[in-house]
Structure 1
């Protein structure tokens, strides 16, 4: 029985540190101002600005979970071949495959705070030296189990390895 694993290749938005570091400092200062300075000593305009900064921080915190990542292609893996459809379609047969390396963070669900799927990174190396670095989504537990079955097949041939990133809540 051939099991197919299909998923989207995505490109997610990353935040620039030149914006996130000052914004984080404003957030800390706002929390300190609202929580540790007695309310009779607070200035009304600074209080309003602090509340706005805290609300914007909450928005950006939850925005990561609810914005759908940009789909740039499709990945299909089975026991016979790997097909990467992006700008061009590349097919790598099992005989041409050198190694698959997965950086696993988890699958998407409400308890992992990502409804579209968590970012997982897949690095595929062929025997002719070509490397493909992909950012893929694992949407739910069913898809994770499909990927696990296929990677178990490649593990038997010493063509698969993986590592966990971001302390996943579920084991791969």
Structure 2
């Protein structure tokens, strides 16, 4: 959609990509404490959604810009409104880009330990934090650490190989042909 200031909004969102996570940890921790969601899974989810949105906007905007305008105009001439145009024309074409975004976000969240260390309590810790805790407590217990490390490694590989075709086509969608 075209609207006044569209490019400036896009530049502002892309500018948020350069903000490191570490800069926002203390202010967001204070905000989550005031809201009562510090130490909960909701706080971790909101944190990752907030820091994942700039990349999602960047990736999907570049993909959507590649959709031919003639295709969108033909759908409008056939009587499709903006919502129907988005649901019936754009979203079916966006499968590879959404798959690529999903894989990137999954891997970022799965491997993230810093946010999980700060924003979770012992009841909602992900496997990375649980493994780190086990290393501290039972450093010599390889029978506890090895299966956890294997699971921590295998799950991202399964997700990647399951969506490999969509991932490659989604990443290459904005490339020059």
Using CA pairs below 8 Å that are at least 6 residues apart, which structure has the higher relative contact order? 2
Higher strand proportion, which one? 1
Higher helix proportion, which one? 2
TM-score by length of 1: 0.25
